Amino acid sequence: MSNPTYTVIFYLFAAITVFSAAFVVFSRNVIYSAFSLLFTFFGVAALYVFLSADFIAVTQVVVYVGGILVLLLFGVMFTNSIMFTELKTDVLHIVPGTLLLFGMIGAMLYTFYTTHGWMPSDVTLQGSIVERIGFETMSRYVLPFEMASILLLAALIGAAFLARFEKPDNNE
Amino acid sequence: MHSLIQLSIVVLLLPLLSFVILIFFNRRLPRSGDFLGVGILGTAFALSAYIFWTVIVQTYDPAFRIAWDFTWIDLGKVPGVGPLQIKMGVVIDNLTAIMLAMVTLISLLVHLYSTGYMAGDKNYGRYFAFLGIFTFSMLGIVLSDNLFSIYIFWELVGLSSYLLIGFFFEKDSAADAQKKAFLANRVGDIGMWLGILILYSQFHTFSFVEINANLAAGKFALSNAWLTAAGILLFMGCVGKSAQFPLHIWLPDAMEGPTPVSALIHAATMVAAGVYFVARIFVMLTPDALHLIAFVGASTAFMAATIAITQNDIKRVLAYSTVSQLGYMVLGLGVGAYSAALFHLVTHAFFKACLFLGSGAIIHAMHHEQDMRWMGGLRKHMPWTFATFTLATLALAGLPLTSGFMSKDAILAGAIGFAKVEGGGIFYLIPVLGFFSAMLTAFYMGRQIWLVFFGESRTHLKPAEDHHGHDVHDAHHGAHDDHDCHEEHHGVHEVSWNMRAPLVILAALSVFFVYSPDPLDGAKGWFMKMIQTPETVVGEASLQKAAALRSGVAPLIAEAVLPPAGHAETDSHAAAAAPSHAAPAGVHTFADPRQAEIAHAAHAAHFPAIYISSIMVVLGISMAFIVYVFRIIDPEKTAISIRPLYLFSLNKWYWDEIYEATFIKGSIVLSKVFAWFDTNIVDGLVNGVAFTVKKFAFANGSFDKYVVDGLVNFTAFSVNTTGAVLRKLQTGKVQTYVVMLILAVFGYFVYYFTRLVY
Amino acid sequence: MEQLTTIGLNHYLTISAILLCLGLFAVMTRKNAIVILMGVELILNAANINFLAFSKYNGGMEGVMISLFVIVLAAAEAAIALAIVINIFKIFKSVDVSSIDSMKE
């Protein structure tokens, strides 16, 4: 992978991802955080494409951007009276948090770069893998797949139950 | 089980039923249930009369005896005692049959009488309940076939008499009297129980029959002195219950109870129980014990008679007269005139009950005036009472043609015979005291009759303050408050039929022909034929056998050697007695020479006794006439001239004072000594121990406090401190936990790197 | 330099590590529950990048499939978590997690 264009594009998306993620974390305004998260998800989806997982990338865009992010925005809007209060969020443990942030990054990067045990396979994933995902889903991973469907159903019911509107006067 | 036994058990339990019903439900029943008490007693009397009829009239056998028993408690083999079985049983012989009929009859009459006498009392129903339990206990004594059950019923009698004497318990004098009676009885009962235990320790049985059989076989392993002691201790029960000297003091005080109760308990039944008990154990009494009993009886008879002369309370005169007559009975038993004593017991029960009920009628009519000095002239107002009272008085005094004459005469004849056989000297004191008491009896009864029934009414002579005292007394008889006590004899009238009927019945039973066709000789009557002196089981033969057993001589040899020896020894006595054994018809023959001699001598003394006692009675009555009717001797002046003697008698020989000074003061002094011992020595020891223990406990406590508690507290403190530090970590904030989690992960990294470096 | 220009496994891992730590930081320090949820999403994305990167260089399909399930899981998680957050808001009138400590001691 020594194509310079490729490298540049990779770094561009990596930068978008990292910086938008940092903005998500460090922004004081929840709405800004949410929109910044949009960019993070897009960046991550792009990185998935680089990792030959085009199907996952599409799924990322559809599910995260179309679903989860909208959900989060709804959450923000339900829980904050936008009209009256600024959507600021306070912070806690700022000193240990910061220290740990850099400490963890440093520790992990040090580990990654000093570990020489990465032995990439001869065959790497190349091209589209949508077809293989289909095969895998219907063969080896059919049970987890079905369980995922059950999980989603349960989550759907649970979420609906938890968030339902309860009348103050209980007239059945 | 014999049908008579079944009937007798029904008779026994009927009064208990009356008690149970009345004590619980008397307030719910109409008339407080008195008809129930009377009815049940009537049924009991009917059954007893049937038993009496069957046993005495139909069977007519001196040796009649049926018994039945069952094991009540079986304790198995008790270590140190051997097999221990307590049996309960019923025995019916002639004596039991007669006593059953007598007790139920008098109880029935008293019940009937009480419906009139006690009418209006606030505890009317309870009174009948108490009468029921008393009758039950008395019948229990009569029916018992062993010492253990007799002791149980003995105590029950004590309890029920306690309840009845203290029936007017609001009065202090009644409460004191009931306590006195109970305590005096207790003294006697302790002796009785010890006597029972002596016998039990030897034979491991309570049954009369078995004890007698064992004694007759000479199996008593202790010395004869022990046997005498056992007899005297058993007799102590009688001393308490039958008010013999020196425990006679409770009976006169017991007159605080309702008068019908006095008639039932203190004339007819309870006090007779003591005599009855001595009769039951008569055969096991040694001659020495009998001598003591005779002397106790004689002195009681004489002492009580002298006291009765000067008493003013109508009931107290009768009470002392009762004590005196009980003394006669005990005397009779002591001298071996067994059947005469029991005869007197029965005749006395009837005429004394009649006298008490008559006095109750007088008291009732006089609005609870009991002092004879303020009576008089009642003859015209109360003819029925007068007639019956006089008849009973004649019986008590022992005039011919009455039952009392026959029975008292038989006892005195026995006493003369006894003195003769025992060899004169001091033993002649017994008949002398007996005759003298007979004279005194006639005298004080004549005095009573005169004071109460003849002359003019002396009610107005009564000092006013005395009246007041009796008004307080009257408060317990609310029904009579409508009468004015201060009025003259307007209120004095004959009592109603339910009080009159018992008087008539009892008076009728005091006439001679009920008991014997010959007014001069009770021995010709059915009673003396049915109740014959039993064979002693501690006669010389068995005593010698026992001595031989104790001395280690083999029983077989003793059997072979001793009877001729005994015979030879008693030959000289028997020489006179032997031919006469069979001579008089109706006189039982005895194997024991002493008994045989006494029986013979008593028979021989029959007519002398009649003459002497008749003279004495006439003497007594004429003295009463001289003093009270013709006033040849002025009683007041006489009293002043022999003032010490008069006071001695009036104050009841100072027995109460003597006991006060000796036993009561002595007990108090003794208790003070013990109290001093307790407070100074026992308490000192206890306090010393307590002090030591306290010091030790304090040392121990400090150790606990400072060392043990210190350790515990230190542990708690360190845990507390650690907790206080650690709880700061538990902020309840999720994010703090996340920080720590990540810190831990970071810590792992650090660990990993250090591993990597080294 | 060669290492920088040739995109390899380490590049992805680095991005993943940075995303993870940023997510952790958000979870640790932010008081708003919604932002914490965003931090969780970041962490999940970081994990997904790792899965896919290893899957690519290993040549197997396991990482791909797991990342797919992770996305499913994340969707479910987000739905439930938001429901919980809304409930919390109803009860405490706030989404400030630092003030929600009624189970403390």
Which residue, B273, C44, B294, B460, is CA-closest to A41?
A: C44
**Could you tell me how many CB contacts below 8 A there are between chain A and chain B?**
27
Q: Are residues A34 and A81 in the same domain?
A: yes
Q: For residue B378, what pLDDT band results from cuts at 50, 70 and 90?
A: confident
For A142, name the nearest residue in chain C, comparing CA atoms only.
C65
Tell me, yes or no, whether A42 lies in a domain. Answer: yes
Q: Is B721 exposed, middle or buried (0-12, 13-18, 19+ CB in 10 A)?
A: exposed
Q: Are residues A19 and A75 in the same domain?
A: yes
Rounded to an integer, the average pLDDT of B239-258 is 82
- The Cα angle at residue B413 between residues B411 and B417, in degrees rounded to 5: 115
Rounded CA-CA distance B18/B34 in Å is 10
Q: Are residues A7 and A84 in the same domain?
A: yes
Quick check: B739 contacting A, CB < 8 Å? yes
Tell me, yes or no, whether A99 lies in a domain. Answer: no
| Residues 6+ positions from B600 with CB-CB distance below 8 Å | B417, B577, B580, B581, B587
- Res. B480: pLDDT tops 50: no
Q: Which of A96, A107, A108 sits opposite B739 (nearest CB)?
A: A96
- Res. B481: pLDDT tops 60: no
Q: Are residues A71 and A146 in the same domain?
A: no
Neighbours of chain C (3+ CB pairs under 8 A): A, B
pLDDT of residue A86: 56
pLDDT of residue A82: 56
Rounded to an integer, the average pLDDT of B109-120 is 84
Q: Are residues A3 and A77 in the same domain?
A: yes
Cβ contact A103–B746 (<8 Å): yes
Cβ contact A129–C61 (<8 Å): yes
Tell me, yes or no, whether A98 lies in a domain. Answer: no
Q: Are residues A155 and A71 in the same domain?
A: no
Containing structural domain, residue A150: 127-166
Tell me, yes or no, whether A95 lies in a domain. Answer: no
Tell me, yes or no, whether A102 lies in a domain. Answer: no
Which residue, B411, B361, B412, is CA-closest to B387?
A: B361
The pair of structure tokens assigned to B7 is 């009937």
- Res. B471: pLDDT tops 60: no
Rounded CA-CA distance B391/B353 in Å is 12
| Residues 6+ positions from B481 with CB-CB distance below 8 Å | B474, B475
- Res. B605: pLDDT tops 70: yes
Cβ contact A97–C29 (<8 Å): yes
- Res. B593: pLDDT tops 50: yes
**Torsion angles phi and psi, residue B313, rounded to 5:** -75, 130
Rounded to an integer, the average pLDDT of B595-613 is 77
Tell me, yes or no, whether A111 lies in a domain. Answer: no
Span of B194-203, B329-338, B395-404, B484-493 with lowest mean pLDDT: B484-493
Cβ contact C52–A53 (<8 Å): yes
Rounded to an integer, the average pLDDT of B122-134 is 85
Q: What's the whole-model pTM score?
A: 0.61
DSSP string, A67-85: IIHHHHHHHHHHHS-TTTS
Average pLDDT, rounded, for chain B: 79
Neighbours of chain A (3+ CB pairs under 8 A): B, C
- Res. B243: pLDDT tops 90: no
Q: Which residues of B fall within a CB distance of 8 Å from C21?
A: none
Optimal mutation site among A125, A138, A151, A164, interface C, most CBs of chain C within 10 A = A125
Rounded CA-CA distance B701/B430 in Å is 76
For A97, name the nearest residue in chain B, comparing CA atoms only.
B739
Tell me, yes or no, whether A110 lies in a domain. Answer: no
CB B204 within 8 Å of CB B214: no
**Could you tell me how many CB contacts below 8 A there are between chain A and chain C?**
246
Cβ under 8 Å to B: C residues 59-88? none
For B734, name the nearest residue in chain A, comparing CA atoms only.
A92
ipTM of the shown complex: 0.88
Q: Which domains does chain C have, with CATH numbers?
A: 2-92 (1.10.287.3510)
Q: Which of B739, B745, B752 sits opposite A93 (nearest CB)?
A: B739
Read off the pLDDT of residues C13-54 as tens digits, 9 standing for 90 and up.
899 999 999 998 888 888 888 888 889 999 999 999 999 998
Q: Which of A40, A68, A89 is where one domain is finished?
A: A89
Q: Are residues A140 and A78 in the same domain?
A: no
pLDDT of residue B566: 39
Q: For residue B158, what pLDDT band results from cuts at 50, 70 and 90?
A: confident
Q: Which residues of B fall within a CB distance of 8 Å from A103?
A: 746, 749
For A104, name the nearest residue in chain B, comparing CA atoms only.
B746
Q: How many CA atoms lie within 13 A of A11 on its CB side?
A: 10
Q: Are residues A81 and A14 in the same domain?
A: yes
Q: Which residues of C fall within a CB distance of 8 Å from A159?
A: 79-80, 82-83
For C20, name the nearest residue in chain B, comparing CA atoms only.
B742
Rounded to an integer, the average pLDDT of C88-104 is 76
Cβ contact B739–A100 (<8 Å): yes
Rounded CA-CA distance A20/A95 in Å is 22
Tell me, yes or no, whether A24 lies in a domain. Answer: yes
Cβ under 8 Å to A: C residues 42-71? 42, 45, 48-49, 52-53, 55-59, 61, 64-65, 67-69, 71
Cβ under 8 Å to C: A residues 35-94? 37, 40-41, 44, 47-48, 50-53, 55-56, 59-60, 63-64, 67-68, 71-72, 74-76, 78-80, 89-94
pLDDT of residue C20: 92
Q: B97 versus B477: which is more confidently predicted?
A: B97
Read off the pLDDT of residues B401-422 as tens digits, 9 standing for 90 and up.
788 888 888 888 888 888 888 7
Q: Is B494 helix (H, G, I), strand (E, B) or coil?
A: coil
Query: What are the DSSP E strand ranges found in B53-192?
Result: 65-78, 82-93
pLDDT of residue B684: 85
For A91, name the nearest residue in chain B, comparing CA atoms only.
B735
**Could you tell me how many CB contacts below 8 A there are between chain B and chain C?**
27
DSSP string, B722-739: HHHHHHTT--S-HHHHHH
**Helix, strand, coil share (%) of chain A residues, nearest 5:** 70, 0, 25
Rounded CA-CA distance B418/B331 in Å is 11
For C32, name the nearest residue in chain B, comparing CA atoms only.
B735
Quick check: A127 contacting C, CB < 8 Å? no
Read off the pLDDT of residues C56-72 as tens digits, 9 standing for 90 and up.
888 888 889 999 999 99
Cβ contact C71–A56 (<8 Å): yes
Structural domains in chain A (count): 2
Cβ under 8 Å to A: C residues 14-33? 14-15, 17-26, 28-33
Q: Parallel, antiparallel, or unpaired: how do β-strands B82-93 and B65-78 relate?
A: antiparallel
Cβ contact A21–C9 (<8 Å): no
Q: For residue B375, what pLDDT band results from cuts at 50, 70 and 90?
A: confident
Q: Which residues of B fall within a CB distance of 8 Å from C36?
A: 735
For A110, name the nearest residue in chain C, comparing CA atoms only.
C14
Cβ contact A93–B743 (<8 Å): no
What letter would DSSP give residue B483? Answer: S
Q: Which of B733, B735, B749 sits opposite A107 (nearest CB)?
A: B749
Q: For residue B626, what pLDDT band results from cuts at 50, 70 and 90?
A: confident
Read off the pLDDT of residues B253-308 as tens digits, 9 standing for 90 and up.
888 888 888 888 877 788 888 888 888 888 888 888 888 888 888 888 888 888 88
- Res. B641: pLDDT tops 80: no
Q: Are residues A53 and A135 in the same domain?
A: no
pLDDT of residue A43: 92
Q: Which of A79, A100, A133 sits opposite C85 (nearest CB)?
A: A79
Read off the pLDDT of residues B193-216 as tens digits, 9 standing for 90 and up.
998 888 888 888 888 888 888 887
Q: Which of A31, A61, A89 is where one domain is finished?
A: A89
Residue B340 to residues B61, B335, C87, Cα–Cα distance (Å): 18, 10, 112
pLDDT of residue C69: 92
Please report, for the domain that includes residue A70, its CATH number.
1.20.120.1200
User: Is it true that the peptide bond before B246 is cis, omega within 30 degrees of 0?
Assistant: yes
Q: Which residues of B fall within a CB distance of 8 Å from A115?
A: none
Cβ contact B732–C104 (<8 Å): yes
pLDDT of residue A104: 87
Q: Is B319 helix (H, G, I), strand (E, B) or coil?
A: helix
Q: B50 versus B596: which is more confidently predicted?
A: B50
List chain A residues with pLDDT less than 50: 172
Q: Are residues A79 and A135 in the same domain?
A: no
Q: Are residues A11 and A72 in the same domain?
A: yes
Q: Are residues A4 and A85 in the same domain?
A: yes
CB B139 within 8 Å of CB B13: no
Q: Longest Cα pair distance anywhere in chain A, in angstroms?
A: 69
